[in-house]
């Protein structure tokens, strides 16, 4: 009796090893989109003609706090689950949270955009 050939098994392993890591691709794409949107918001804020001083009410401020908490949990979970960029997760965490903090609490254009979206969503008919 002849021993079974190992060629099909080796070919399967080689094919699996040649597939690019999806963690790295998805992680990079999400961060490019995130920081691209932040760059867009910075440019829009810089060019934005402010109508005057806006004093936010308590409800609007709560929207910002909840949004920051919700998005930061999603970003941190995304970083922790990913196997891409091992050894650099702290750097990505600090950069993401810092950028998100700026976006939600200091970028006037984004704050108005967010309040507009949330108010529109709240007033939509069911």
pLDDT digits (tens, 9 = 90+) for 40-57: 999 999 987 766 777 778
124 within domain boundaries: no
Q: Is residue 117 part of a domain?
A: no
Determine, yes or no, domain membership for 102.
Answer: yes
Which pTM value belongs to this model?
0.75
| Of the candidate ranges 51-55, 59-63, 95-99, 116-120, the one whose mean pLDDT is the lowest | 51-55
In a domain, 103, yes or no: yes
33, 39, 45, 47 alpha-carbon torsion, rounded to 10° = -120
More confident residue, 64 or 23: 64
The DSSP call for residue 51 is -
User: In this model, does residue 8 exceed pLDDT 90?
Assistant: no
In a domain, 77, yes or no: yes
Task: Tell whether the model's pLDDT for residue 100 goes beyond 60.
Answer: yes
Closest by CA to 56, choosing from 10, 95, 112, is 112
For residues 24-34, give the mean pLDDT.
92
pLDDT reading at 3 higher than 70:
no
Q: How many domains does the chain have?
A: 1
Is residue 39 situated within a structural domain?
Answer: no
Dihedral, 67, 95, 87, 25 alpha carbons, nearest 10:
70
CA distances from residue 39 to 33, 34, 44, 104, 108 in whole angstroms, order as listed? 10, 9, 9, 13, 14
Whether residue 94 is predicted with pLDDT greater than 80 in this model: the reply is: yes
Q: What range defines the domain where residue 103 resides?
A: 58-107
82 found inside a domain: yes
* Nearest one of 27, 24, 50, 62 to 109, comparing CA atoms: 50
């Amino acid at each position: 009796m002849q021993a079974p050939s190992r060629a099909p098994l080796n070919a399967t392993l080689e094919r699996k090893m040649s597939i690019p890591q999806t963690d790295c691709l998805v992680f990079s794409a999400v961060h490019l989109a995130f920081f691209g949107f932040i760059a867009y918001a910075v440019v829009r804020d810089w060019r934005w003609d402010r109508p005057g001083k806006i004093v936010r009410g308590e409800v609007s401020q709560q929207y910002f706090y909840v949004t920051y908490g919700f998005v930061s949990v999603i970003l941190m979970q995304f970083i922790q689950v990913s196997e891409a960029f091992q050894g650099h997760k702290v750097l990505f965490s600090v950069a993401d949270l810092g950028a998100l903090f700026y976006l939600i609490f200091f970028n006037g254009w984004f704050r108005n955009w967010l309040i507009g979206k949330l108010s529109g969503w709240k007033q939509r008919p069911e």
